[in-house]
Structure 1
Amino acid sequence: MPSLTRFTPFLLLGLISAYSVQAAPADGFVLDKVVQVSRHGVRPPTDSAKLAKAIGRELPNWTVPDGHLTGHGYAAAVEMGRYRGQVLRAAGLLPSGCPGPGEVFVRASPLQRTQATATALLDGLFPGCGLQPSVVQGDKDALFQADKMPFARLDPRRAEDSVLERMGGSVVGAQARYQVAEQQLRSVICGEASACQYRDQPWQLVEDEDGRVAIKGLSLEANLGETFRLEYSEGLPLYQVAFGHGATVQQVAQLTTLTKAKYDFINDSLYIASRGGSQLMNQISLALKQGTPQAATDALGNPPDVRFTLLVAHDTNISYLRTLLGFRWTLGDYLEGNIPPVGSLQFERYKQLKTGRYFLRVAFEAQSLGQIRQLAPLTAAQPPLHADLASGKGCVSTQAGLLCPMEVALKRLDQHIDRTALTAYSYR
């Protein structure tokens, strides 16, 4: 089986000129480079026993170990990869068969669910090629787990102050604003039982073992909301989804209100995002600059110069990037800013044939809850949900989407990179 687990054999050092066929340009723009950051696919809770103990109820049984990609999740990721491959081939970026020299590089976060999702996406993108992602040794990769590593460690006081500011200055006051959502969650867990072990906890700012800020009480509620959404996405019987309270996509989405609150308070803090997301954003920016007048070399390390880079990560990573970009979206029945399984942040670079100028499209794309649950085929008539980022002055609407001048878009990518939160990085 071909392997992409090493930099040199995967890169293969080819040239763009090897393409013999180029698709018709969209409004005079040709797609020449893509960096895509995708979340892993559907998984069970990462610690179902701990979650069940906290709420006093048994959770549904899954077919895989805690935190692992499911077979259903694999199939949904393959479909997302297949659709994405069609789009990129139609744009002339990818070949019709297996990728050749210098065309593709794929790296996955070290966890099983991200590695398996990367394999699934590759199976969809390049069926029959048997490609595998590259992965670092160990359980932490500085691209994806920066927020758990010493080089990007938070200043505890500054982190707490930034979260308090987003909470309106009071933890108690913030929790009071979510009283209705907490009552709804309690009713889902307890049902009509007169005696129920689950009780709301007062929210409390704490520091976890990796030095990250957390909100005790809300963290559990956020985890439950995400678990209910994953149960629906997995295709579990509706009587099992949220203990029978998640029969529709609207009900499931509403149960993620407290999940969204956690991200609003913590991951959307610019300080926290800049510490945890700068390493990844810096590498994305460097990749997009390659071969353009903005090309730059970073002494800490540079990404492979290929046409298509796929990085398979976590919702935390994408939430940090979203915050650094100031990019918010509301897709379908999901709540604002939601990052569904295999949701992808896409950075597409286009060259304007007439002027030779470069433009960038930044978009977020994800399957709907129904599409994931039903494993629905993705087509031009029934595509994934998507939203484009308007990066500033001079953006133009084209058949390919909203394209913004490269120099303007790069300023948006680079503006919040914290160089004190970077470390040396190698793709070998």
Structure 2
Amino acid sequence: MKFRLAAAVLLSTLMAGFAPAGAQVPPIPPGWQTERVVMLSRHSVLAPVETPEQLARFAASPWPAWPVAPGNLTPRGADLGHQMGQFYRIIYGGRGLIEESICPAPGTVVLWVDLDNRAEYAALSTLGGLYMRCITPILKHQADLSKPDPLFHPSPSPSCPMDAASNRAAILARIGGDFTSVLREYAPQLSLLQSTLCPPGSAAGCGLAAEAPAIVPDPKGGVAMKGPIAIGSMAGEIFLQESAEGMPADQVAWGRLGGGPAGDDKLRDVLKVHRLHLDLMEKTRPIAQQKGSNMLALVTTALQNGHKFPGAPNLAEPVRFGMLIGHDTNILNVAGLLNLGWQIKGYQDNEVPPGSALAFELLRESRSGQRYVRMAFYAQTPEQLRNMTPLTLDNPPGMVAVDLPACSAYARDKACPLERFVEIANAAIDPGCVTIKQ
């Protein structure tokens, strides 16, 4: 639908930048002000991207039915996104970035959204939580509807070729040259996934055995993974979405992970495979540069100059609250470039759950005029998603401060001086992969 606006081997790498659980977002230091926030957000709960026919080869039992077409945000996902929008209104309204009860001054609040269905619906639902009656002036997207937005879906170019052979080599170098060691290390989780997809007595070739492990060229540029890790990652993500959709316990992974806390623990355990897959495919350095340089360049530029946020009108007042609504891959690409990490209760470290967001806050120390960048990660916990828990300051979503390792020697109150942040970001970006105007 076209977008229309209307009203072990890998453990040390995976743990890089790890934020301890309970590292909550600290208060703004006395004498500091929040000038701007740029948020990179993922859509909330969606139906599996794959069709039922595509999924059938990986499981012995029929997959649960969803209320929407494959890859689309569900009505419940929209409601959960609305809740996050309401919470952002509370927390950033309290800092003076978002007006309490009126539409914002033109250009001060802008949401830039990807063109696909789930991001469109997510943007509308999140914006509904922020501003019920102010959608059209705030929600923006790329003018050219005939091609993907390069912020969210970068394409190969002469200066950024996304060479499949070199990307494949970079991934394999991280796991010892082939899949042998990593399949051995993750054998417990893969075994649990296999028995969930295809219980004993299932037909041969069912589940993780449907494909041999391989890194293959992706028609869209770069590479894709086949085999047990990719299939297990897909299954774990679907099980998480089923739980977040509020499906009965006997439908979440067909009830084979169990219910209650024990089932939650098993779901969290199999998500290790999902984390591994995304870490390899989105955070391996050259891939993160190819797919994330555009986004990090935009974030860095917008922090320095609020007039440079995409969709911002040419007005005197800059953007104060800018949100980029895309996908988990966009967040992971940027996290890979900056070596960021976080942990939200109930998930594996560095997971990007439905509806989560990575926030870049521009702070100013009033006395000195020095500006700082502080980062935070927001995500509803598995229980909050499953129970559609209302979010308030007394019952907030999971939220943690995100350290920037390269700025540790310069940081104050978990905030990096703006000039140093710009240096770090520019050093991580591949300029040949930047196509946005700065």
| Letter of the 1:135 counterpart | H
Q: Quick check: 2:60–2:202 contact (8 Å CA) kept in 1? A: no
- The aligned counterpart of 1:322 is 335
SS in 2 for 1:266: helix
- The aligned counterpart of 2:432 is 420
Give, in whole Å, the separation in 2 of the partners of 1:107 and 1:95: 19
Give, in whole Å, the separation in 2 of the partners of 1:111 and 1:290: 28
Of the three residues 240, 243, 260, the one matched with 2:275 is 260
Write out aligned runs for 1:351-362 (5 A).
351-362=364-375
**In the alignment, structure 1 residue 205 sits paired with structure 2 residue 215:** yes
Give, in whole Å, the separation in 2 of the partners of 1:61 and 1:288: 43
- The aligned counterpart of 1:133 is 139
- The aligned counterpart of 1:21 is none
The CA deviation at 1:220 is: 1.9
The CA deviation at 1:152 is: 3.9
| Letter of the 1:61 counterpart | A
Give, in whole Å, the separation in 1 of the partners of 2:121 and 2:155: 22
- The aligned counterpart of 1:339 is 352
**In the alignment, structure 1 residue 144 sits paired with structure 2 residue 156:** no
CA RMSD of aligned residues (A): 2.5
- The aligned counterpart of 1:370 is 383
- The aligned counterpart of 1:278 is 293
Give, in whole Å, the separation in 1 of the partners of 2:379 and 2:256: 24
Of the three residues 72, 76, 79, the one matched with 1:72 is 76
Write out aligned runs for 1:375-394 (5 A).
375-391=388-404, 392=407, 393-394=409-410
Deviations 1:296-326 (A, max 9, x none): x9xxx97734111111010011000110110
Query: Identity over aligned residues, as a percent?
Result: 28
Instruction: Kindly indicate whether structure 1 or structure 2 has the higher relative contact order, using CA contacts under 8 Å at least 6 residues apart.
Output: 2
**In the alignment, structure 1 residue 35 sits paired with structure 2 residue 38:** yes
Of the three residues 214, 237, 241, the one matched with 2:224 is 214
Give, in whole Å, the separation in 1 of the partners of 2:202 and 2:62: 18
Of the three residues 240, 243, 249, the one matched with 1:232 is 243
- The aligned counterpart of 1:188 is 196
Give, in whole Å, the separation in 2 of the partners of 1:34 and 1:4: 26
The CA deviation at 1:102 is: 2.5
Q: Quick check: 2:72–2:118 contact (8 Å CA) kept in 1? A: yes
Of the three residues 86, 109, 122, the one matched with 2:127 is 122
- The aligned counterpart of 1:396 is 412
- The aligned counterpart of 2:23 is none
Give, in whole Å, the separation in 1 of the partners of 2:418 and 2:4: 30
- The 1:150–1:209 alpha-carbon spacing in structure 2 relative to 1, beyond 3 Å, is farther
Q: TM-score, normalised by structure 2?
A: 0.85
Q: Quick check: 2:38–2:321 contact (8 Å CA) kept in 1? A: yes
Give, in whole Å, the separation in 1 of the partners of 2:267 and 2:412: 36
Give, in whole Å, the separation in 1 of the partners of 2:161 and 2:355: 27
Deviations 1:193-237 (A, max 9, x none): 454651424311111212221221122221111001100011011
Give, in whole Å, the separation in 1 of the partners of 2:126 and 2:266: 29
- The aligned counterpart of 2:162 is 154
My pick for the range that moved more, 339-348 or 384-393, is 384-393
SS in 2 for 1:35: strand
Give, in whole Å, the separation in 1 of the partners of 2:196 and 2:310: 49
Of the three residues 181, 184, 204, the one matched with 1:173 is 181
My pick for the range that moved more, 363-372 or 197-206, is 197-206
Give, in whole Å, the separation in 1 of the partners of 2:202 and 2:352: 36
Give, in whole Å, the separation in 1 of the partners of 2:28 and 2:66: 46
Q: Quick check: 1:394–1:404 contact (8 Å CA) kept in 2? A: yes
My pick for the range that moved more, 95-104 or 342-351, is 95-104
My pick for the range that moved more, 36-45 or 91-100, is 91-100
Give, in whole Å, the separation in 2 of the partners of 1:185 and 1:302: 42
> Post-superposition, which runs of at least 4 consecutive aligned residues in structure 1 deviate over 6 A?
148-151
The CA deviation at 1:183 is: 1.0
Give, in whole Å, the separation in 1 of the partners of 2:248 and 2:240: 13
| Letter of the 1:228 counterpart | F
Of the three residues 113, 126, 136, the one matched with 1:108 is 113
- The aligned counterpart of 1:85 is 89
Give, in whole Å, the separation in 1 of the partners of 2:51 and 2:28: 49
- The aligned counterpart of 1:11 is none
Size of the aligned set, in residue pairs, is 396
Give, in whole Å, the separation in 1 of the partners of 2:186 and 2:299: 36
SS in 2 for 1:360: strand
Deviations 1:130-174 (A, max 9, x none): 446222213510110015777643122221111011112222332
Deviations 1:52-74 (A, max 9, x none): 23334311001111111101101
My pick for the range that moved more, 100-109 or 249-258, is 249-258
Of the three residues 270, 276, 284, the one matched with 1:269 is 284
Give, in whole Å, the separation in 1 of the partners of 2:157 and 2:141: 17
Structure 1: 5+ residue runs without aligned partners? Answer: 7-23
The CA deviation at 1:101 is: 1.8
Give, in whole Å, the separation in 2 of the partners of 1:126 and 1:99: 9
| Letter of the 2:394 counterpart | A
| Letter of the 2:216 counterpart | V
The CA deviation at 1:383 is: 1.1
Q: Quick check: 2:60–2:203 contact (8 Å CA) kept in 1? A: no
- The 1:221–1:313 alpha-carbon spacing in structure 2 relative to 1, beyond 3 Å, is same
